[in-house]
Amino acid sequence: MATMLGQAEAAPEPASEQLPEITGRSPWALAARRLWRNRIAMASLVLFLLIVVVCLAAPLYAHDIAHVNPFVNNLNGTTIVNGKKVPLMQQGGGVLHLGETPIGPTWDLRHYFLGADAQGRDVAARLLYGGRSSLGIGIGSAVICCFIATVVALIAGYFGRAVDAVLSRLMDLVWAFPVYLLAISISTVLLTSANGLQVGPLHIAASSLWLPTLIIALIYLPYVYRPVRGHVLAATEKEFVEAAVSQGASDLRVIFSDILPNVVSVVIVLLPLMIATTILTESALSYLSVGVQPPNASWGTIISDGQDLLYTRPWVAIAPGIMIVLVVLSLNVLGDGVRDALDPRARLRVEE
């Protein structure tokens, strides 16, 4: 399909005096060009990459600019505001003027830019470290999910019959299970167990970031599997598969060199949207305390930490939320752009 469209667009222009050299362009190159021309999609890609880079630089910021360790209590610490030394935890504050309130945003990148949380830790530094976990889990689980779902869909769609029936019913079962409830069940059991998950030689500690990553990848498998399997089924019916089989190509060869290239665009369209979904899911699970575990932070856990400080120091909870909105929004816009670029007909169907 993409190939046909590619040929249509690469068709030579009406004959002129000097025929320019016609260069063949692959459908991928054409799609990339279409995406490149989509300014809004490119802007969101830039925004997304910018946030990724800034979050990757978290240790740099914490060590060299803010000079803080955002993972240890710092209740007796001090910082500098307008050249004066002030304690991080201030007496009074709150409605009753009792107890201690952490310092609010100083808007000074070197000294507690976004203030401190209830344990005197630098919120800005935690925000960046939290971004590493959130983005890592989001991207990691989406990639793992897409990979496994595609492999299963290729096997089910190509071999059909009993294999397809069993695998598809299995996926239907996970699909029927409400995502959050499934994730919560698995997470609680694994988090409460003393030594994490132990499958054969593989051991994952309860505090490891791999745990939420794998759980989120698992619960979204059917959401990728279903559309990909549909396309595998359609491709398997095509004549070129019959031709390959009649030439004596092995199953593996047919799957990888004839079917996979025809469904990989579906996966690529789904990927950014899946990352957006998995980042939202990770934040929700972490907010409910069954996602990322301390000492690690993620945007979800920071929002959860900020809940108690909401009325006195709202930035603790608001800042990570803004980061989530920016990332998810940019991924959604990018996802729409990728879809339009790879499958212009989808847009034509709607926009004509």
Partner 1 sequence: MLTFIVRRGLWTVLVMFAITVLVFVIFFKTPGIDPVRQIAGRNPSPLVLAEIRHQFGLDRPFPVQYALMMKKLFITRDLVSYSNQGTLVIPEIFAAAPATLSLVFGAAIIWVVVAIAMGVGAAVLRGTVLDPLLMILALIGISMPVFWLGQVANLITQSRFHDTFLFSWVPPLGYTSLTQNPVRWFEGLVIPWIVLSVLYIGLYARVLRANLIEVQNEDFIRTARAKGLTERRVLLRHTLRNSMITFVSLFGLDFGVLVGGGALLTEVVFGIHGVGFLTYQSLTNLDLPVIMATVVYGAFFIVLANTLVDITYAWLDPRVRLA
Contact footprint for partner 1 (CB under 8 A): 172-173, 176-178, 180-181, 184-186, 188-190, 192-199, 276, 280, 283-284, 287-290, 300, 303, 306-307, 310-311, 314, 317-318, 320-321, 324-325, 328-329, 332-333, 349-352
> Cβ 226 to partner 1, closest distance in Å?
14
Q: Considering the complex, state which of residue 88 and residue 276 has its C-beta at the smaller distance from partner 1.
A: 276
The full 3-state SS of 109-120, as one line of letters, equals CCCCCCCECCCC
Q: Measure the CA–CA gap between 123 and 102, rounded to whole angstroms.
A: 11
Structure tokens at 87: 């304690």
Q: Considering the complex, state which of residue 128 and residue 273 has its C-beta at the smaller distance from partner 1.
A: 273
Q: Considering the complex, state which of residue 19 and residue 176 has its C-beta at the smaller distance from partner 1.
A: 176
Q: Measure the CA–CA gap between 320 and 315, rounded to whole angstroms.
A: 9
Q: Considering the complex, state which of residue 44 and residue 74 has its C-beta at the smaller distance from partner 1.
A: 44
Distances (CA, A) of 351 to 192, 310, 334, 340: 51, 44, 18, 11
> Cβ 108 to partner 1, closest distance in Å?
24
* Residue 327 identity (one-letter amino acid): V
| Torsional sign, CA 100, 101, 106, 110 | positive
Residues with Cβ within 8 Å of residue 91, at least 6 apart in sequence:
100
Q: Considering the complex, state which of residue 143 and residue 191 has its C-beta at the smaller distance from partner 1.
A: 191
> Cβ 195 to partner 1, closest distance in Å?
6
Q: Measure the CA–CA gap between 254 and 33, rounded to whole angstroms.
A: 29
Q: Measure the CA–CA gap between 153 and 260, rounded to whole angstroms.
A: 10
> Cβ 332 to partner 1, closest distance in Å?
6
> Cβ 119 to partner 1, closest distance in Å?
19
Q: Considering the complex, state which of residue 8 and residue 176 has its C-beta at the smaller distance from partner 1.
A: 176
Q: Considering the complex, state which of residue 140 and residue 320 has its C-beta at the smaller distance from partner 1.
A: 320
> Cβ 7 to partner 1, closest distance in Å?
26
Q: Considering the complex, state which of residue 124 and residue 328 has its C-beta at the smaller distance from partner 1.
A: 328
**In terms of Cα–Cα distance, which of 316, 284, 290, 289 is closest to 118?**
316
> Cβ 43 to partner 1, closest distance in Å?
13
Terminal Cα-to-Cα distance of the chain (whole angstroms): 19
Alpha helices by DSSP H, 247-314: 251-253, 260-287, 299-306
> Cβ 267 to partner 1, closest distance in Å?
21
Determine the angle formed by the axes of helices 123-159 and 260-287, rounding to 10 degrees: 140
CB 103 within 8 A of CB 79: yes
> Cβ 200 to partner 1, closest distance in Å?
9
Q: Considering the complex, state which of residue 49 and residue 325 has its C-beta at the smaller distance from partner 1.
A: 325
Q: Measure the CA–CA gap between 58 and 125, rounded to whole angstroms.
A: 7
CB 134 within 8 A of CB 285: no
